[in-house]
């Protein structure tokens, strides 16, 4: 009896300790991966951009790479162009994604899963193939210009269709639309359809139902879509390089040109770090706005 009474407290103390350490054990592996594959590379990027330490090839510390980027009017113009293109492309995708997600969630019936699979399979197509397909469509001798000329709508090819901001917006909008649709679709699937019936019973029209009921409830999905799509739009360089020309030059191309064309690794690292910080600030702002919209 005495042995059993002594053993119980020891076991009782070990139980809570094991329960407390078990989550830490599960979290240790992903935390280690995060540190090794994210925080360490970000630290190296900061070291190179500030030219501090042996990894950067210098022994001092300077902010010259950042001041050069901020003071150069060329980079300011490129930043404005990038913001304009990315914002318009994101709005176009949201304009398309919300009704598509609504149809998939509530109107597609038995075709819901096949349509989702088709969207995913279409997104698996090599991005370069998609870009060159758009070049075939938008070029001077492309399908669109040839079709319009054969119908007598135009006499000369529309040059602005390719190597322009318009072309970059079109290609970027179609390249990421799947990543915009799926998070919004997932948010819609979590909504009880009885809420819409209640709104109709209270006399709300479709616009009021969308604005006051559906939109606040899908804001978490919109937030995820912004993280998955809007931030990568700023760093994309393949699409603007192949279809943008000089008017569609973006910051992603600037990083590529600084590192590969000019050999300015420090300047490229500085611009990458600026984009990373801007992405973090945008993510925080989008999360805050999403929470505020949910409370409306």
Domains of the chain: 1-62 (no CATH), 72-295 (1.10.3720.10)
Q: What pLDDT is recorded for position 92?
A: 95
pTM equals 0.82
pLDDT at 40 over 80: yes
Question: What tens digit of pLDDT does each residue of 245-279 get?
Answer: 888 899 999 998 999 888 888 899 999 999 988 88
Q: What is the mean pLDDT of residues 140-165?
A: 89
Mean pLDDT across the stretch 125-152?
89
What is the percent of the chain where pLDDT is above 70? 88
Number of other CB atoms surrounding residue 92 within 10 Å:
17
Quote the pLDDT of residue 1. 46
Q: Return the pLDDT at 82.
A: 94
Query: Which of 14 and 69 is assigned the larger pLDDT?
Result: 69
What DSSP string runs through the chain?
Answer: -HHHHHHHHHHHHHHHHHHHHHHHHHHHHHHHHHIIIIIHHHHHHHHHHTT-SGGGT-SS---HHHHHHHH-HHHHHHHHHHHHHHHHHHHHHHHHHHHHHHIIIII-GGGHHHHHHHHHHHHTS-HHHHHHHHHHHHSTTSHHHHHHHHTTS-SS--GGGSSSHHHHHHHHHHHSHHHHHHHHHHHHHTS-THHHHHHHHTT--HHHHIIIIIHHHTHHHHHHHIIIIIHHHHH--HHHHHHTTTTT--HHHHHHIIIIIS--HHHHHHHHHHHHHHHHHHHHHHHHHHHHHHH-
Using CA atoms, how far apart are residues 152 and 146, in angstroms rounded to an integer? 10
Is 202 exposed, middle or buried, given 0-12, 13-18 or 19+ CB atoms closer than 10 A? exposed
Question: For residue 204, what pLDDT band results from cuts at 50, 70 and 90?
Answer: confident
Q: What is the rounded distance in angstroms from the CA atom of residue 235 to the CA atom of residue 279? A: 10
Task: Give residue for tokens 């799509």.
Answer: 229
What would the pLDDT profile of 229-246 be if each residue is shown by its tens digit? 988 898 888 899 999 888
pLDDT digits (tens, 9 = 90+) for 51-103: 876 655 566 778 888 998 899 999 999 999 999 999 999 999 999 999 999 99
Q: What percent of the chain has pLDDT over 90?
A: 33
- pLDDT of amino acid 17: 67
Please tell me the distance from the alpha carbon of residue 236 to that of residue 231, in angstroms, as a whole number.
Answer: 9
4-8-10-15 Cα dihedral, nearest 10 degrees: 150
CA-CA distance, 145 to 158, in Å (whole number)?
7
């Amino acid at each position: 009896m005495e042995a059993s009474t002594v053993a119980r407290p020891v076991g009782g103390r070990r139980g809570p300790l094991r329960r407390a350490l078990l989550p830490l054990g599960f979290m240790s592996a992903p935390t280690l991966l995060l540190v090794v594959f994210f925080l360490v590379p970000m630290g190296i990027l900061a070291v190179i951009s500030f030219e501090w330490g042996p990894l950067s090839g210098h022994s001092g510390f300077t902010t010259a790479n950042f001041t050069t980027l901020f003071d150069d009017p060329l980079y300011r113009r490129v930043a404005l162009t990038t913001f304009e293109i990315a914002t318009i492309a994101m709005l176009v995708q949201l304009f398309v994604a919300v009704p598509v997600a609504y149809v998939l969630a509530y109107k597609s019936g038995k075709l819901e899963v096949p349509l989702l699979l088709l969207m995913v399979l279409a997104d698996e197509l090599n991005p370069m193939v998609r870009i060159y397909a758009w070049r075939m469509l938008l070029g001077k001798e492309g399908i669109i210009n040839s079709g319009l000329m054969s119908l007598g709508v135009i006499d000369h090819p529309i040059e602005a269709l390719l190597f322009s901001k318009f072309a970059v917006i079109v290609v970027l909008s179609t390249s990421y639309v799947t990543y915009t649709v799926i998070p919004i679709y997932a948010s819609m699937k979590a909504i009880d359809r009885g809420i819409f019936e209640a709104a109709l019973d209270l006399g709300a029209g479709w616009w009021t139902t969308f604005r006051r009921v559906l939109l606040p409830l899908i804001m978490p999905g919109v937030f995820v879509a912004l993280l998955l799509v809007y931030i990568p739009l700023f760093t994309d360089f393949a699409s603007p390089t192949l279809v943008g020309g000089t008017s569609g030059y973006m910051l992603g191309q600037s990083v590529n040109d600084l590192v590969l064309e000019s050999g300015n690794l420090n300047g490229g690292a500085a611009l990458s770090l600026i984009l990373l910080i801007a992405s973090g600030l945008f993510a925080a702002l989008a999360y805050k706005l999403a929470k505020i919209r949910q409370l409306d």
